[in-house]
Amino acid sequence: MPANRPALTRRAILEQCVALGSVAIVAASPAAAMLDAFEQHEKDYHRPTPPNELGPFYKKNAPVTSTFRAPGDPGIPLVVSGQVFNTRGDQLTGAVLEVWQTDHLGHYDLDGYRYRGKVALDKTAAYKLDSVMPGHYPDRVCQHVHFAVTAPGHKPLVTQLYFGTDPVFEGDPDHNFKRDPLIHSRELVRPVMLVGDPHDIQAAVRFELCLEIL
Amino acid sequence: MPRFRGLLGIFLLALAGQLSGQDLKLVKNLTVPPDSEVQFAAVSPKGDLVAAACKDGRVRLWAFPSGEPKLVFDLTDQPISALRFSEDGSLLAVGGVRGAGKIWGVPSGKLKLEFTVGTRIEAFAISPDRTLLAISRQEMPAQLWDISVGRLITDLPAKFSGSLAIAFSPDGQRLASADADTEIRIYEAQTGALRATNSDFLLETFAIGFSPDGKNLYLGGADKTISALDPISGKTVRTFPKQSFVVGDLNISRDGKSIAAAYFDANGFSNPAPVLLWDVATASVRTTIQQNGFTANGGQFLNDGRLLLTSSATGMLQVWSVR
Cβ of B266 and A156 within 8 Å? no
List all residues 6 or more positions away from A51 whose beta carbon is below 8 Å from its beta carbon. Answer: A157, A158, A159, B139
Instruction: Please name which of A149, A178, A182, A174 lies closest in space to residue A82, comparing C-alpha atoms.
Output: A149
Would you call B268 an interface residue with chain A, using a CB distance cutoff of 8 Å? yes
Provide the number of CB pairs (under 8 Å) joining chain A to chain B.
72
Q: Find, in chain B, the residue whose alpha carbon is nearest to that of A55.
A: B3
CB atoms within 10 A of CB B281: 9
B222 neighbourhood in chain A, CB within 8 Å? 56-57, 59, 110
Cβ of A59 and B203 within 8 Å? yes
Cβ of A58 and B182 within 8 Å? yes
CATH 2.60.130.10 residue spans of chain A: 77-211
Summarised one tens digit per residue, pLDDT across range A93-141 is 999 999 999 999 999 999 999 999 999 999 999 999 999 999 999 888 9
B18 HSE (CA, 13 A, CB side)? 1
Indicate the pLDDT class of residue B15, thresholds 50, 70 and 90.
Answer: very low
**Between B207 and A26, the higher pLDDT residue:** B207
Q: Which amino acid is at B132?
A: L
Would you call B251 an interface residue with chain A, using a CB distance cutoff of 8 Å? no
Would you call B139 an interface residue with chain A, using a CB distance cutoff of 8 Å? yes
Residue B4 has pLDDT above 60, yes or no: no
**B95, B82 contact by CB (below 8 A):** yes
As a whole number of angstroms, the distance between CA B68 and CA B323 comes to 24
Which of A53, A106, A156 is facing B138, going by the closest CB pair?
A53
Would you call B206 an interface residue with chain A, using a CB distance cutoff of 8 Å? yes
Phi–psi pair at A159, nearest 5 degrees: -155, 180
Indicate the pLDDT class of residue B317, thresholds 50, 70 and 90.
Answer: very high
Which of B139, B224, B267 is facing A53, going by the closest CB pair?
B139
- CATH code at B180? 2.130.10.10
Q: Find, in chain A, the residue whose alpha carbon is nearest to that of B10.
A: A139
Cβ of B139 and A61 within 8 Å? no
Cβ of B222 and A138 within 8 Å? no
Residue ranges in chain A modelled with pLDDT below 70: 1-11, 13-14, 17-18, 20-28, 38-44
Q: Find, in chain A, the residue whose alpha carbon is nearest to that of B271.
A: A138
Would you call B222 an interface residue with chain A, using a CB distance cutoff of 8 Å? yes
Residue B245 has pLDDT above 90, yes or no: yes
Q: Which letter, b or e, does each residue of B195-214 get, where b requires 16 or more Cβ atoms within 10 Å of its Cβ?
A: bbebeebebbbbbbbbbeeb
CATH class of A77-211: mainly beta
Instruction: Please name which of B3, B2, B69 lies closest in space to residue B32, comparing C-alpha atoms.
Output: B69
Cβ of B268 and A138 within 8 Å? yes
Cβ of A56 and B267 within 8 Å? no
Q: What is the mean pLDDT of residues B103-123?
A: 95
Chain A contact residues (CB < 8 Å to B): 51, 53-61, 106-108, 110, 138-140, 148, 150, 156, 158, 181-182
B138 neighbourhood in chain A, CB within 8 Å? 53
Cis amide prior to B128 (ω within 30 degrees): no
Cβ of A56 and B202 within 8 Å? no
pLDDT of residue B98: 94
Q: Which alpha helices (DSSP H) does B33-103 contain, by range?
A: none
pLDDT of residue A29: 72
As a whole number of angstroms, the distance between CA B248 and CA B272 comes to 13
Summarised one tens digit per residue, pLDDT across range B176-190 is 999 999 999 999 999
Residue B10 has pLDDT above 60, yes or no: no
Cβ of A58 and B180 within 8 Å? yes
Q: What is the mean pLDDT of residues B18-27?
A: 66
Cβ of B203 and A58 within 8 Å? yes
- Mean pLDDT in chain B? 90
CA distances from A210 to A119, B141, B209, B247, B260 (A): 16, 21, 38, 35, 44
Cβ of B182 and A138 within 8 Å? no
Give the mutation candidate from A49, A54, A102 for the B interface (greatest B CB count, under 10 A). A54
Residue B41 has pLDDT above 80, yes or no: yes
Residue B164 has pLDDT above 80, yes or no: yes
Distance from CA of A6 to the nearest CA of B (A): 44
Distance from CA of A140 to the nearest CA of B (A): 7
Indicate the pLDDT class of residue B1, thresholds 50, 70 and 90.
Answer: very low
- Structural domain harbouring B176: 2-322
pLDDT of residue A139: 81
Distance from CA of A192 to the nearest CA of B (A): 25
ipTM, two decimals, is: 0.88
Domains held by chain B: number: 1
